Structure 1
Amino acid sequence: MAKIPGVRPPDLSELTRAQDRMTFLYLERCVIHRESNAITATDERGTIHIPAASLGALLLGPGTNVSHAAMTLLAESGSTAVWVGERGVRYYAHGRSLARSSRLLQAQAELVTNRSSRLRVAREMYAMRFPGEDTSGLTMQQLRGREGARVRRTYREQAALHGVAWDKRRYDPDDFSSGDPINQALSAATTSMYGVVHAVVVALGCSPGLGFVHTGHVRSFVFDVADLYKAEYAIPCAFEIAAAGYADVAAETRRAMRDRFRDGRILERCSRDIHHLLLPADEPEADDLGPDVVRLWDGGSRTVAGGTSWDGEVDW
């Protein structure tokens, strides 16, 4: 048999689980290529090597030129490539999933398309933000009101802690530089959070668009999950950076968020929380990096093997 051309894809055993990876790396104005099983980024200062198999999300900013070989390696390694705008604050597109199983995706679809189970998951998401409080009897309107009060209180507390003047969240998505430093920092921190959560959602094989609280947007589930951590990571980080008076608020915020993600093991936590929300409590968290096996639905609860001729099973 003739040898298949191209570089051999990495074995599953060579890949790092989504929850154990580096969170994200933002690159701009450089040429991105591949050398063996590493991604290389080259600019006028030289070349750096990035281990693709241990990277969660690669945020590709303006001026990046990516080779076919580099994108192939990212896809085979399950690293999500996210195309973003200037300073990493506008999202354009993302790469493929690391998962081989549709188990979580099917659970997500079943839960979100039933009103009672969707409400149960939404309540659990809010319960995770209000530890010790009973949210089981609250309506979505009551939960939204309580969440809004919590976020406003967090803004006020962080402003007082860091001595930052605060009025309200105000930004122009078409003009990042028009915002004051704190709103610029909040935008950059939130985008970093979305990028990392999106990487975990996609790597686990879930649908970014099937949200429980958010709805109608292609990243509704990403927003749902990111909101679990925003008041803990993004808001405090943004106020800390704004208080420091940096000239490049966006870049400093991204670096600070990356440090917080690493220290807080956000990938592991995010993966665990998604499994908790979507799977029954008595079902163990499994690694979905199994072999590429395609099966056929048999009309009930049974499945049969794919890639098989079944013409002899039924009389025509």
Structure 2
Amino acid sequence: MSNNFGAPKTKLNDLDRTQDRITFLYLEHARINRKDSAVTVSTKDGVVFIPSAIVSVLMLGPGVDITHRAMELIGDTGMSVVWVGEHGVRQYAHGCSLNHSARFLQSQAKLVSNVRSRLAVARKMYQMRFPDEDVSHMTMQQLRGKEGARIRRTYLKQSQRTGVEWKRREYKVDDFNSSSTINKALTAAHQALYGLSYSVIVAMGASPGLGFVHTGHDLSFVYDFADLYKANYSIPVAFESAAKYGDKDIADCTRREMRDVFAQGKLIVQMVKDLKYLLNVNDQSEVSVMHLWDDKEGLKKFGVQYMTPDYEDDKY
């Protein structure tokens, strides 16, 4: 018989892999609780049950009331939580998802701490945008200029394709509704992409703050990673949404379109693959492994009481 205290904590091996999960859900003006192994969302229209282990990131907008029991379940099942402002424009806080390995973090820290390896990863990111060109000898200044030109062409191409007028990218963080329809759609689309990027990064055990192109912000790597997918996901979806829906409820409509495109394109699967490629992590497993480090003997077994013969007190 079910009860409000929930089912036993789910074992790590029973959880859906990051790449197999639903992309994201955005909620506002709702009460979030739990029942057994499901998150319950109560609104004026009724109650919806969400299996928490199959969602990657939950974006919580204004007017959300969430219980301690719900957060406990979310933490146990590895769902990322991002508290955002109205329309998802601002990120106020985030909760880390389930992650039991330091492989990605160790590799990322090593790569970003050396100028040559950092530049190599940055070039990898730009090479993914220009698969038919060799960017291995370009400077960061040249790469930034090349990427800027590509994005400007992408905006123009999508404007011509959809018939949506395009002037330039502009928005006010404190006044979402002051922007043009297409700029509001772009903001909503990019925020959804940032949320999904953040979720994959932390779920795999990497750091959102250790960026290779962006730097100095606690989400620098999120911006690095999301930029890989804007031209194929958030930008075309924003233009299509602006053409299809106009200004009415453009943020909500754009988020729904992004959700569907993420699922259809299996973007999470691609993100997991790309993250492993960028950070040079070849291990296919996502199992928790812990060792003790030794400067001479390498990795040692964890959970063992070691004794040094030189010290008599060690045997006590």
Relative to the length of structure 1, the TM-score reads 0.93
> Residues of 2 paired with 1:270 and 1:131: CA distance?
17
Give the superposition deviation at 1:7. 5.0
Structure 1 residues 158 and 71, CA gap change in structure 2 (3 angstroms): same
What is the identity, as a one-letter code, of the residue corresponding to 1:266? L
Displacement of 1:300: 4.2
Mapping for residues 227-306 of structure 1, pairs under 5 Å? 227-244=227-244, 245-279=246-280, 283=282, 285-288=283-286, 290-291=287-288, 293-300=289-296, 302-306=298-302
8 A contact 2:23–2:57 mirrored in 1: yes
Distance in 2 of aligned mates of 1:52 and 1:80 = 10
C-alpha contact 2:212 2:224 (8 A) present in aligned 1: yes
Q: How does 1:1-316 map to 2 (within 5 A)?
A: 8-244=8-244, 245-279=246-280, 283=282, 285-288=283-286, 290-291=287-288, 293-300=289-296, 302-315=298-311
Asked whether the 8 Å contact 2:22–2:54 carries over to 1, the reply is yes
Distance 1:202 1:243, change over 3 A: same
**Aligned residue pair count:** 307
Which one-letter code corresponds to 1:66 in the other structure? Answer: I
Asked if the contact 1:184–1:249 (Cα under 8 Å) also holds between the matched residues in 2, the reply is yes
Shift of 1:131: 1.2
**AA matched with 1:147:** E
Give distance in 1, aligned partners of 2:208 and 2:309: 39
Gaps of 5+ in 1: none
Judge which range, 155-164 or 88-97, deviates more: 88-97
Query: How far 1:309 moved relative to its partner?
Result: 2.8
Rounded Cα–Cα distance in structure 1 between residues aligned with 2:230 and 2:214 = 15
Deviation of residue 301 (structure 1)? Answer: 6.3
SS at match of 1:23: strand
Partner SS for 2:49: strand
Same amino acid, percent of matched pairs:
50
Per-residue CA distance 1:86-132 (angstroms, 9 max, x = gap): 11221112222322110111000000001100000100100000111
**Per-residue deviation, residues 117-170 of structure 1 (Å, max 9, x unmatched):** 000010010000011110100000000000000000001111111111111101
> Could you tell me which amino acid in structure 2 is paired with residue 91 of structure 1?
Q
Q: 2 CA distance for matches of 1:8 and 1:243? A: 47
Instruction: Give 1:11 shift.
Output: 1.2
Distance 1:278 1:48 in 2: 38
Q: How many angstroms apart in 1 are the aligned matches of 2:8 and 2:298?
A: 35
CA distance in 1, matches of 2:296, 2:255: 49
- Aligned pair in 2 of structure 1 residues 41, 223: CA closer, same or farther (>3 Å)? same
* Amino acid in structure 2 at the alignment position of 1:295: H
Per-residue CA deviation, residues 238-295 of structure 1 (Å, 9 max, x unaligned), is 1111122140110000000001000000111001000011116xx3x4222x24x542
SS of equivalent to 2:169: coil
Identify unmatched segments of 5+ residues in structure 2: none
CA contact (8 A) 1:211 1:224 kept: yes
- State the superposition RMSD in angstroms: 1.6
**Partner Cα separation in structure 2 for residue 103 and residue 84 of structure 1:** 29
**Amino acid in structure 2 at the alignment position of 1:302:** G
SS in 2 for 1:145: helix
SS of residue paired to 1:87: helix
C-alpha distance in 1, partners of 2:228/2:165?
25
Give the distance between the partners of 1:112 and 1:301, measured in 2 at CA: 26
Secondary structure of the residue aligned to 2:42 is strand
Deviation of 1:85 after TM superposition, in Å, equals 0.8
Larger deviation, residues 88-97 vs 216-225:
88-97
CA contact (8 A) 2:6 2:35 kept: no
Shift of 1:64: 0.6
